[in-house]
């Protein structure tokens, strides 16, 4: 593995080192190599070359938030690493100062002349971009009013100089221009500028299908433009906006192929966060940052109403060996949430941990599962003051484990069972081996250990490893 990392790192450095200076690079990441790198880093925590190569992979794929986190982790291991320092410096020096301009409506070719086509403004992805766009909008608003006042004075002079012999139509044309300029000068821009409604949902769906890599971005920006258009029509409540978005999403889902059918709801998740001010169960992330500040690239909401920074969540789940348990509520994530987590760019590496846990559960033989059931029954049934029966049962189980093949012993030591205390509902976040050792050392109540061991046996039965 170290040879693969060295060769790939050497090749990647020579090919892509300059690309770390650019935020526009968007090559497809090699997820196979990325999974190998994460596995190597778990086995060898220092793994400087693997971490550098991982940094290049994420940066060259355009996942700059993930690359930044990788660079910071690399500096914790190697504070003088030049690659990480170079990348972080390039990110700071290339931070956006102004947002892209709003493209003006353009006319189609002669075949569709008169039908304006709007290229919408890019939706801000974080607080810095939003602030920049707000400043730019304020400056543009002031400039429009100033120019309108100047033009209003000039056209008024022209109007006064026109002779009485001019036809009525010319006077009416100038009068309309004066009214429009006066409205602009007074800041009533909405009275002059026509409001162009969003494109049809089916046209948006066609764009999403033809450019699948940007499908989520296209869908999100379409919903944002829909919100802006509805609000430009007057004071509308968020409930009315949500109802309109729901109808639009149903049309998008019907027009998209099955492989893209989940994207409209994901787009709505971002719009509720960025535009509609949705409230969540938690106000802060696990690291104490406000939920409102989570960038779109790492923002995700679970079905139980918690908002997450996926970088933080993925790290928390990986430290728990990939057990899909909500770190805040201590409840297991739903099946839909698990699929969403491992399909997210920041959660893909958790899929490998899921596979590992599955393999571990398949590595426990039926005879071992029988022993687990016997141990659980003995611990739960023992009501004596000296608990000698429980001690003998633990010693017998420990002796049995010592006779197992190394692979099965490893499964007992590393397998994390999604179990909860039957009385308190508190999650059990330890392995079977940990539970047995804690019971032997009187660190945990023997009845609680019996509860966990019994659930572990049932879990193994359901997963097929303990069936005869």
- Express each pLDDT in 222-259 by its tens digit: 999 888 888 876 778 888 899 989 989 998 998 899 88
Are 308 and 316 in contact by the 8 Å Cβ rule? The answer is no
Q: How far apart are the first and last CA of the chain?
A: 37
Mean pLDDT score, 369-378: 88
Stronger pLDDT, 258 or 133, i.e. the higher one: 258
Comparing 33-42, 221-230, 257-266, the range with the smallest average pLDDT is 33-42
Are 216 and 267 in contact by the 8 Å Cβ rule? The answer is yes
Measured CA to CA, the distance from residue 79 to residue 72 in angstroms comes to 9
- Express each pLDDT in 275-306 by its tens digit: 998 999 999 999 999 998 899 899 999 999 99
Considering 75-79, 82-86, 303-307, 371-375, the range whose residues carry the highest mean pLDDT is 303-307
Are 194 and 242 in contact by the 8 Å Cβ rule? The answer is no
Mean pLDDT score, 166-181: 67
Which sign, positive or negative, has the C-alpha torsion 421, 424, 428, 433? negative
- Express each pLDDT in 178-222 by its tens digit: 888 888 888 777 666 656 677 888 889 999 999 888 899 999 999
pTM for this structure? 0.48
Measured CA to CA, the distance from residue 298 to residue 134 in angstroms comes to 23
What confidence score (pLDDT) does residue 3 get?
Answer: 52
pLDDT confidence bin for 55, thresholds 50/70/90: confident
Nearest C-alpha neighbor of 81 from the set 9, 134, 145: 9
What confidence score (pLDDT) does residue 30 get?
Answer: 63
Stronger pLDDT, 270 or 345, i.e. the higher one: 270
Question: Which H, E and C letters describe the chain, residue by residue?
Answer: CHHHHHHHHHHHHHHHHHHHHCCCCCCCCCHHHHHHHHHHHHHCCCCHHHHHHHHHHHHHCCCHHHHHHHHHHHHHHCCCCHHHHHHHHHHHHCCCCCCCCCCCCEECCHHHCCCEECCCCCCCCCHHHHHHHHHHHHHHHHHHHHHHHHHHHHHHHHHHHCCCCCCHHHHHHHHHHHHHHHHHHCCCHHHCCCCCCCCCHHHHHHHHHHCHHHHHHHHHHHHHHHHHHHHHCCCCCHHHHHHHHHHHHHHHHHHCCHHHCCHHHHHHHHHHHHCCCCCCCCCECCCCCEHHHCCHHHEEECCCCCEEEHHHHHHHHHHCCCCCECCCCCCECCHHHHHHHHHCCCCCHHHHHHHHHHHHHHCCCHHHHHHHHHHHHHHHHCCCCCCHHHHHHHHHHHHHHHCCCHHHHHHHHHCECCEECCCCCCEECCEHHHHHHHHHCCCCCHHHHHHHHHHHHHHHHHCCCCCC
Measured CA to CA, the distance from residue 308 to residue 13 in angstroms comes to 33
What confidence score (pLDDT) does residue 120 get?
Answer: 47
What confidence score (pLDDT) does residue 69 get?
Answer: 81
What confidence score (pLDDT) does residue 110 get?
Answer: 37
Length of the chain: 468
Q: Which two tokens stand for residue 402?
A: 């010592």
Tell me the C-alpha to C-alpha distance, in Å, between residue 461 and each of 264, 334, 393, 438: 38, 21, 21, 24
β-bridge mates for residue 117, sequence order: 106
What confidence score (pLDDT) does residue 291 get?
Answer: 92
pLDDT confidence bin for 24, thresholds 50/70/90: very low
Comparing 40-49, 138-147, 256-265, 273-282, the range with the smallest average pLDDT is 40-49
What confidence score (pLDDT) does residue 356 get?
Answer: 65
Share of the chain above pLDDT 90, in %: 13
Stronger pLDDT, 2 or 456, i.e. the higher one: 456
pLDDT confidence bin for 25, thresholds 50/70/90: very low
**pLDDT of residue 67 exceeding 90:** no
What value, to the nearest 5°, has the Cα angle with vertex 105 and ends 101 and 111? 145
Stronger pLDDT, 204 or 429, i.e. the higher one: 204
Nearest C-alpha neighbor of 310 from the set 331, 325, 294, 290: 294
Backbone angles phi, psi at 198, to 5 degrees: -60, 160
Q: How many CB atoms lie within 10 A of CB 367?
A: 13
Comparing 46-50, 156-160, 317-321, 337-341, the range with the smallest average pLDDT is 156-160
Share of the chain above pLDDT 70, in %: 76
Q: What is the residue-averaged pLDDT of the chain?
A: 77
**pLDDT of residue 10 exceeding 70:** no
What confidence score (pLDDT) does residue 95 get?
Answer: 57
Are 325 and 427 in contact by the 8 Å Cβ rule? The answer is yes
**pLDDT of residue 468 exceeding 80:** no
What confidence score (pLDDT) does residue 43 get?
Answer: 67
Measured CA to CA, the distance from residue 163 to residue 3 in angstroms comes to 90
What confidence score (pLDDT) does residue 104 get?
Answer: 35
Measured CA to CA, the distance from residue 379 to residue 374 in angstroms comes to 9
Name the one residue in this structure whose structure tokens are 């509902």: 425
Name the one residue in this structure whose structure tokens are 């893209």: 260
Backbone angles phi, psi at 107, to 5 degrees: -90, 140
β-bridge mates for residue 332, sequence order: 325
């Amino acid at each position: 593995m170290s040879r693969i990392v060295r060769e790939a790192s050497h090749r990647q450095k020579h090919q892509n080192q300059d690309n770390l200076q650019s935020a526009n690079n968007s090559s497809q990441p090699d997820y196979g190599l990325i999974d190998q790198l994460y596995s190597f880093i778990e086995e060898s925590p220092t793994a400087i070359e693997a971490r550098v190569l991982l940094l290049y992979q994420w940066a060259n794929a355009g996942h700059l938030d993930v690359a930044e986190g990788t660079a910071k982790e690399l500096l914790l291991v190697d504070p003088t690493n030049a690659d990480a320092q170079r990348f972080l410096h390039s990110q700071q020096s290339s931070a956006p100062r102004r947002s892209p301009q709003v493209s003006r409506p353009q006319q189609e070719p002669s075949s569709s002349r008169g039908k304006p086509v709007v290229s919408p403004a890019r939706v801000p992805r974080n607080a810095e971009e939003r602030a920049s766009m707000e400043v730019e909008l304020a400056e543009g608003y002031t400039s429009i009013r100033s120019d309108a006042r100047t033009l209003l004075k000039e056209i008024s002079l022209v109007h006064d100089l026109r002779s009485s012999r001019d036809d009525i139509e010319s006077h009416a044309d100038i009068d309309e221009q004066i009214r429009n300029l006066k409205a602009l000068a007074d800041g009533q821009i909405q009275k002059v500028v026509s409001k162009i409604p969003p494109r049809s949902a089916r046209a948006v769906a066609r764009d999403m299908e033809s450019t699948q890599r940007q499908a989520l971005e296209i869908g999100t920006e379409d919903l944002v433009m829909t919100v802006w258009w509805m609000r430009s029509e007057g004071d509308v409540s968020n409930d009315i906006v949500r109802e309109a978005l729901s109808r639009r999403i149903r049309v998008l889902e019907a027009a998209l192929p099955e492989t893209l059918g989940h994207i409209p709801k994901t787009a709505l998740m971002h719009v509720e966060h960025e535009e509609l001010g949705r409230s969540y169960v938690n106000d802060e992330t696990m690291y104490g940052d406000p939920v409102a500040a989570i960038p779109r690239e790492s923002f995700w909401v679970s079905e139980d109403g918690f908002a997450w920074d996926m970088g933080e969540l993925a790290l928390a789940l990986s430290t728990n060996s990939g057990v899909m348990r909500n770190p805040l509520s201590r409840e297991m994530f739903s099946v839909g949430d698990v699929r969403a987590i491992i399909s997210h760019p920041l959660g893909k590496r958790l899929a490998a941990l899921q596979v590992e846990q599955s393999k571990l559960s398949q590595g426990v033989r039926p005879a071992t599962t029988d022993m687990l059931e016997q141990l659980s029954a003995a611990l739960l049934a023992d009501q004596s003051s000296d608990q000698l029966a429980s001690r003998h049962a633990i010693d017998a189980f420990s002796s049995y484990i010592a006779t197992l093949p190394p692979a099965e012993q490893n499964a007992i030591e590393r397998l994390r069972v999604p179990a909860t205390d039957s009385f308190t509902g508190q999650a059990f976040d330890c392995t079977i081996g940990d539970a047995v050792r804690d019971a032997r050392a009187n660190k945990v109540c023997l009845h609680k250990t019996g509860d966990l061991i019994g659930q572990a046996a049932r879990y193994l039965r359901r997963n097929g490893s303990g069936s005869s």
